[in-house]
């Protein structure tokens, strides 16, 4: 019996990313240095933080002038008012707010804490915002990998988000290219021949969560993982289809 | 440079599970037949459906007498009133209800759709309920594997659940044994030496999601996966710590 096996491999040797660096090229080079040629069908999961840095989505907090409202929110929570200001700038609406925790819908329509504005792994006194268009970021990395390594891979840009109902954050897909993010299994039959009626799986989020098992959250500098052996459905559907519309969500 | 690599392997040859079958023994035998000896530190992810079957948590719908309320809810949604009745019996409270979709808190305090009562992969005219105590189910499987194969593994019992905010279901941990389900990275430093302030990762859910990449949702009969190479924190903490308490949740 042939084992159905998937591998998740952390890409080592990615440098500290600066503005305008070429993430696609860096991934191709780093994987080659590890003796790992990228293959058709590989899924490359990239932590958004290096994408944000390469795209110049980093600001020095000293350059941020907090509004009156940002100061008020910060005062009630012990947060840095400049951080709150950035969170508000990145938000199109506040979804929940309590004790300094801001859950908002970002300009990209992702509902998450702090609008994804990150103070970790950016450098002291700095903040990183989510990429402006994470699906486009994923596509650019994918195109560049195709150009340099002559392989067609899928790319997922990921971020670690808290969620309602359950403690602990999980890594999810905020952008993707080359893979269908939602796997629709309706119409397939179960082991007794009964039709599945409601089985849409967010395979992009599951892949992002799987990748985090090798991604370094802290100082390990592993911001990229290859998932090899999972047969995905090729597609140009963006990860934008994952956030549920307000009118379809029982919790919004 | 040594690659940091994790493998996810689907266990084939698991039979159609009946009441009182020994899941631990079946996993040990099936993995041996694949030439895969279980190892210390392996993480075994088991779809709850086979646990529910082995524990006799299956009912024939013809034996279920729906209440007046179940009939009313079913009438408004086109659902089988006996299915609705089972959902209500498995719930300690209704969290949201709209157009036949029932989100409730189960007797195990997991908030999910239909209280986890499943009509797929059970057999025509039957329904499967979640295990009564999925942490205990995981522990029993783990103990049995230790007894038979003389290895200490972690066991996660998983189910695929929809979630607020995002389309598509993902596989999550409803029970676990031998692994710390929530990884607390607060106090670790980032790549610039800055302390992480709020990084609790639900590694048990990420492992369950990773496992689903090889688990058969439909008729593929792969209800068990081994995750090999991920270094987890051994612990007796149950998966019960994952559902957030109502007073701590901004969406409940």
Q: pLDDT averaged over consecutive 10-residue blocks of chain B (252 residues)? A: 80 94 98 95 97 97 96 89 96 89 92 93 93 98 98 97 95 98 87 80 97 75 94 97 91 84
Which residue has better confidence, A198 or A202? A202
Output the pLDDT for position B99.
79
Chain A residues 17-56 with a CB less than 8 Å from chain B: 33-34, 36
Give the closest of B3, B196, B222 to A10, CB-based. Answer: B3
* ipTM exceeding the 0.85 mark: yes
B218 touches A at CB < 8 Å = yes
| Interchain pair A168, B203: CB under 8 A | yes
CB B83 within 8 A of CB B119: yes
Task: Decide if pLDDT at A219 tops 60.
Answer: no
- Residue A182 with chain B: CB contacts under 8 Å: 167-168
**DSSP-assigned beta bridge partners for residue B166:** A243
User: Which residue in A73, A63, A72 sits closest to A104, CA to CA?
Assistant: A73
Whether chain A has a CB inside 8 Å of the CB on B122: the answer is yes
- B105 within 8 A of B113, measured Cβ to Cβ: no
- pTM (predicted TM-score): 0.96
Q: By the CB < 8 Å criterion, does B247 face chain A? A: no
> Does the distance separating the beta carbons of B196 and A120 come in below 8 Å?
yes
CA distance B134 to B113: 17
Mutation target to probe the B interface, by most B beta carbons within 10 A, among A6, A83, A185, A220 is A6
Q: Residue A246: its pLDDT value, please?
A: 86
Of B36, B239, B29, B241, which is closest to residue B138 (Cα–Cα)? B239
Average pLDDT over residues A47-70: 97
For residue range A113-130, what is the model confidence (pLDDT) as tens digits? 999 999 988 989 999 999
Count A/B contacts: CB-CB distance under 8 Å. 259
Structural domains for chain A: 7-49+132-242 (3.30.1330.100), 59-127 (3.90.1660.10)
CB-based burial of residue B109 (10 Å sphere; 0-12 exposed, 13-18 middle, 19+ buried)? middle
């Amino acid at each position: 019996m042939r084992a159905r096996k998937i591998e998740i491999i952390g890409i080592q040797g990615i440098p500290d990313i600066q503005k305008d660096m070429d993430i696609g090229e860096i991934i191709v080079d780093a994987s080659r240095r590890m003796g790992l040629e990228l293959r058709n069908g590989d899924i490359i999961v990239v932590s958004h933080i290096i994408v944000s840095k390469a795209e110049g989505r980093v600001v020095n907090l000293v350059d941020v002038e907090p509004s009156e409202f940002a100061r008020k929110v910060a005062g009630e929570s012990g947060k840095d008012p400049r951080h709150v200001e950035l969170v508000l700038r990145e938000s199109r609406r506040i979804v929940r707010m309590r004790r300094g925790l801001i859950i908002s819908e970002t300009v990209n329509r992702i509902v998450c804490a702090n609008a994804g504005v990150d103070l970790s792994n950016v450098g002291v006194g700095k903040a990183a915002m989510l990429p402006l268009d994470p699906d486009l970021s994923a596509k650019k990395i994918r195109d560049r990998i195709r150009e340099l390594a002559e392989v067609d891979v899928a790319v997922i840009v990921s971020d670690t988000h808290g969620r309602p109902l359950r403690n602990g954050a999980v890594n999810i897909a905020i952008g993707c290219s080359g893979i269908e993010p939602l796997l629709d299994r309706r119409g397939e039959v179960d082991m007794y021949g009964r039709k599945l009626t409601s089985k849409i799986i967010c395979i992009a989020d599951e892949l992002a969560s799987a990748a985090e098992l090798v991604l370094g959250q802290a100082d390990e500098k592993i911001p990229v993982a290859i998932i090899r052996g999972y047969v995905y459905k090729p597609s140009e559907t963006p990860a934008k289809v994952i956030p549920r519309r307000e009118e379809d969500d029982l919790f919004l």
